[in-house]
Amino acid sequence: MTQGRFTAETTRLDDAARAGWLYYVAGNTQDEIARKLSVSRQTAQRLVSLAVSERLVKVRLDHPIGRCMDLAGMVTDRFGLQFCEIVPSDPDAPGLLTGVAIAAAVELERVLKSDEGRIIALGTGRALKATVEQLPRLDCPRHRIVSLLGNMMSDGSATPYNATIAMAERVGAKHYPYPLPVLASDPDELKVLHAQEAVRNTIGLGQQADLTLVGIGQMGRQAPLVVDGFVAEAEMAALVAAGATGEITSWIYDGDGHVLDCDFNRRVASVPLPKAAERRVIAVAVGEAKRPALTAALGGRLVNGLITNEAMAERLLAAK
């Protein structure tokens, strides 16, 4: 039954989509749209901008910009990557996620187009959330989306940056949320949790993913782990003192990209990071704050693919 779509809310979005189509695809002026839709020009304008702000219209740039290709080549060589995509950056907004999100979404789409059932594993974070928002609505029931870590805190509340559910909903695929909190109370509890069959199954899926997309978490006061309340500031300071440089799906690693042997990591419930780089593991990260963490992850071969922007690429290459 499609009736449900015809609520007032949806009608408004429909109009927004229609206006956006007339504007961007058919090249109508807002005045013409207003006439065709029998609304005032101002309303037409609002509809168009609604279509934009609701992300109904997606703009994609189809030209390999020379500078970006050059940077991608250099980054690939320097860090021994299998995949690297550099998008232009706006000098005034070097942390803008939209660009990398689009690039990552394109890469996801490439996998989703496959006829065979694929497994896609996702971490969490703002970058991945933005990526999923750039995905078109598809119907790919053969593919499976697996979460690499929980999105619950120990008290049961959820963090907002889980991308798995949104993605599975968008592309119509089966999805496997990670059935554990991010952190266990202690290593023994973790052992018990990991022994569950559902958990073992999900971990197994995550480890054989055809494409793994992860964000990069920095350390320090603004660290996602701190902001989202998994680590107290004092604890974070101790971790940093112990050499913590960054984090991928909550696994904290040092400046060489080696996962730390510490109390925190012994409580992390996430799927273990893939050891060898036989799987495609792509990091999505922008923003100066994440540079040390990203540098370490690349150096330690924790990932073998990267999607970032010019600003970050230049800094990565300039370093050392």
Partner DNA sequence: GCCTTTGGTGAATATTTGCCCATACAATAG
Partner DNA sequence: CTATTGTATGGGCAAATATTCACCAAAGGC
Footprint of DNA (CB under 7 A): 12, 23, 29-31, 39-43, 45-46, 48-49
Residues 218 and 126 sit within 8 Å (Cβ to Cβ): no
> Within 74-103, which residues bind a second copy (CB under 8 A)?
87-93, 96, 98-99, 102
Length of the chain: 320
Distance of closest approach, residue 172 Cβ to DNA, in angstroms: 14
3-state DSSP assignment of residue 84: strand
Over the window 108 to 137, marking each residue x when it contacts a second copy by CB under 8 A and - when it does not, the resulting string is --x--x----------------------xx
Distance of closest approach, residue 181 Cβ to a second copy, in angstroms: 33
* Beta-carbon contacts of residue 64 (< 8 Å; ≥ 6 apart): none
Report the chain's C-alpha Rg in angstroms.
21
Closer CB to a second copy, residue 4 or residue 156?
4
Closer CB to a second copy, residue 282 or residue 297?
282
Q: Could you give the CA distance from residue 89 to residue 106 in angstroms, rounded to a whole number?
A: 18
43 contacts which partner out of DNA, a second copy, none, CB within 5 to 8 A by kind?
DNA
Q: Could you give the CA distance from residue 304 to residue 82 in angstroms, rounded to a whole number?
A: 6
A 10 A CB-CB count for 110 gives 10
The reply on whether position 11 binds a second copy by CB under 8 A is yes
Closer CB to DNA, residue 41 or residue 315?
41
62 contacts which partner out of DNA, a second copy, none, CB within 5 to 8 A by kind?
a second copy
Token reading at 200: 């073992």
Q: Say which DSSP state 137 is in.
A: P
Q: Could you give the CA distance from residue 299 to residue 80 in angstroms, rounded to a whole number?
A: 9
Closer CB to DNA, residue 41 or residue 78?
41
Residues 52 and 37 sit within 8 Å (Cβ to Cβ): no
Residues that bind a second copy (CB under 8 A): 1-6, 10-11, 13-14, 16-18, 20-22, 24-26, 28, 32, 36-38, 51, 54-67, 69-70, 87-93, 96, 98-99, 102, 110, 113, 136-137, 310
